[in-house]
Structure 1
């Protein structure tokens, strides 16, 4: 069968890679529009009764090999991936990066409103600095009072994070605390060497025996603050309470909020060195 000639301006289903039904619907709606009128910057189409307006923009765009423009949000989990992505977009002249230290987030808006340019602001990349598993654990147990045995178990389970004093020293402290759970503690005093000495008595072979236990007043963690991030030194103070001859222990991290702020500041500085303008706030 001979191929029918195609009228100038006529669209075929093969050309747009969409169904013939869609082409028929587009043609039907096009024929329905009798004329257009403009009033106060608004364009109206006058169509016969029983017809309704349909937005075909998405249907036509999805039938194309590629979208008309970039849009969407990409969530990155490392600062290096974030920097790589914004470098690939090459939109420093049209974008802002918003830094929010309180939420530890960076948000790049590539089609921004800058100077005389007007953008849709819907093409973005985000980076959220999430606490590492180990630092989140120390934060969770911060300032939580524990009995001797529970505190000793906690030290044993997390000894790899402690750098000062050495892990061997803290492991010895944990072992001693477990061994003296039945002892009756009577007093505590601070020593010049930076430790606390606890005096106790315990029954050994039906005899009362006295002794002392020394533990450090401070220790330090060597730990990543954020996932995929660098390690930091975080100081902690060991606290205790002696009540009814029993000891309770807890620790207090030294201003952990400042450590988090310092760690995230490095991410901000890396973003600033990327060539993009960094603003403090939320997009």
Structure 2
């Protein structure tokens, strides 16, 4: 009888030694039997265990075409998808898009968000406004670099004329054959007859503006606008940009063409599915 007990205890001791806990290696799945007899699955494949993400994910925001293409070349493949959203003026690449045979996560993306240049914002902020001569002259002087026709030198001279006649009384306007407009004024001088003169402004301005950062300049036409209050002798000046939305649309279309020519798949018109 004692010999049987000794043999049983030996078996128990071996079983207990086999059940001692030991270190599990990260990067694998384990199935363990608990002391109560339940089966438990242990996942040691996550980044908190391995230090390496299970897959690429996240959306990277870039501001120009070169950055978009550099990121795509690093992470994209032949099954990636690229979408151009005309309304939002964004281009999105789903780098891990579904293949023709298999589903993928679709969670790794790069988005091109175009940002308007300071010059474009400056001119469009004044679009359609009529302001006093002095304010208009200051605006022209600050943005001479964007002028193509008339030349910057001509417009600087015109701006200076506006500044020195801020106290003059404007009496009439005349449209010339060229389309330009001539304004006649009188400067009051104490004890003397008023000094008369005139200022001629062109019918249009031709600008070279970059709508978005990283794009080439585009030709933009702005028509001169004015309001002459003869009762007060006041002249207000401004301009109206011709179809600025078309310029933005053309710039976006050219950006899409650049990307379309560099990625291995056609750029789709639309937006990717929400995740």
Alignment of 1:212-231 (within 5 A): 212-231=198-217
CA distance in 2, matches of 1:222, 1:30: 75
1:60 positional shift: 2.9
RMSD: 2.8
CA distance in 2, matches of 1:33, 1:76: 54
SS for the counterpart of 1:121 is: coil
Q: Which residue of 1 aligns with 2:12?
A: none
Confirm whether residue 209 of structure 1 aligns to residue 195 of structure 2.
yes
SS for the counterpart of 2:181 is: strand
Confirm whether residue 129 of structure 1 aligns to residue 110 of structure 2.
no
1:228 positional shift: 2.0
1:194-230 deviations in Å (ceiling 9; x for gaps): 3110011121353223221111111111121111221
Identify the match of residue 23 of structure 2 among 5, 12, 21. 12
Confirm whether residue 262 of structure 1 aligns to residue 250 of structure 2.
yes
Q: Which residue of 2 aligns with 1:41?
A: none
Confirm whether residue 78 of structure 1 aligns to residue 64 of structure 2.
yes
Q: Which residue of 2 aligns with 1:34?
A: 38
1:70-99 deviations in Å (ceiling 9; x for gaps): 11111111101101211222412x221110
Give the structure-1-normalised TM-score. Answer: 0.79
1:33 positional shift: 7.9
Contact 1:199 1:210 in 2 (8 A): yes
Alignment of 1:185-200 (within 5 A): 185-200=170-185
Question: 5+ residue gaps in structure 1?
Answer: 1-5, 18-25, 36-46, 48-52
Distance verdict in 2 for CA 1:160–1:64, change over 3 Å: same
1:27 positional shift: 8.4
Confirm whether residue 101 of structure 1 aligns to residue 86 of structure 2.
yes
CA distance in 1, matches of 2:227, 2:131: 10
CA distance in 2, matches of 1:209, 1:232: 42
Question: 5+ residue gaps in structure 2?
Answer: 1-16
1:29 positional shift: 8.1
Give the structure-2-normalised TM-score. Answer: 0.82
Identify the match of residue 279 of structure 1 among 259, 268, 272. 268
CA distance in 2, matches of 1:255, 1:178: 30
Q: Which residue of 1 aligns with 2:6?
A: none
Q: How many residues align?
A: 249
CA distance in 2, matches of 1:33, 1:173: 94
Distance verdict in 2 for CA 1:163–1:272, change over 3 Å: same
Alignment of 1:36-185 (within 5 A): 60-92=46-78, 94-185=79-170
Contact 1:238 1:251 in 2 (8 A): yes
1:28 positional shift: 11
